[in-house]
Amino acid sequence: MTKSEKVRFVIDELQRLFPNPPIPLQHKDNFTLLIAVLLSAQCTDERVNKVTPFLFELADNPADMVKLGREKIAEIIRPCGLAPMKSKGIFELSGILLDQYNGEVPADIQALEKLPAVGHKTASVVMSQGFGEPTFPVDTHIHRLMYRWGFSNGKSVVQTERDAKRLFPKEKWNELHLQIIYYGRSYSLARGWDIQRDFITRAIGRKSLLK
């Protein structure tokens, strides 16, 4: 297959497997999505989804999050790991949203990236899943699969994002971002990788991985 044929194959197979991929993090609106994505750093979505219902029951908006206070936030989110850093970020960004954005999450990736504890990936996820803007957030699954499929060199997530945006149609970015994540979780794990189960990689993957 040519590279363009491989790209088409991936798009078609992912659409067949995951025609309507759900957003994996439970949330009510863009603020709770932002908090959930922030918490998911170095933590599984499953664990985040166990923690956020209690957190959002107490504070599901910036004003209540500020009232909740940094120490209480840290206590609640401790199972997600990195609680001191994440609680500080959540508390401070909530104050900034109140002071500078009337309590709303800005629909601007540069503004999001300036918020405490919000990096490029978190901002991209919010723009994609919250505002429907075409972005291609790269998590560990996407980074791994883009390398296994021979679509990127695996040297950095920055390069992987560039390559994904270059190869895939822009109108498919938001959907593919989720579809690749679900494929990685179900068919192409980082540990205990079963090449027989990972049929996309078996069909188009790097020859060095298939020996």
Would you tell me how many other CB atoms lie within 10 Å of the CB of residue 81? Answer: 14
Residue with tokens 């599901």: 60
Cα–Cα distance for residue pair 18/175, rounded to 1 Å = 9
Is residue 86 within 8 A of residue 80, CB to CB? The reply is yes
User: Is 45 a residue of the active site?
Assistant: no
User: Is 139 a residue of the active site?
Assistant: yes
Residue in 6, 45, 121, 198 annotated catalytic: 121
Which residues, in sequence order, are CB contacts of 70 under 8 Å at separation 6+? 87, 88, 91
Residue in 6, 45, 86, 139 annotated catalytic: 139
Cα–Cα distance for residue pair 157/137, rounded to 1 Å = 9
The catalytic residue positions are 121, 139
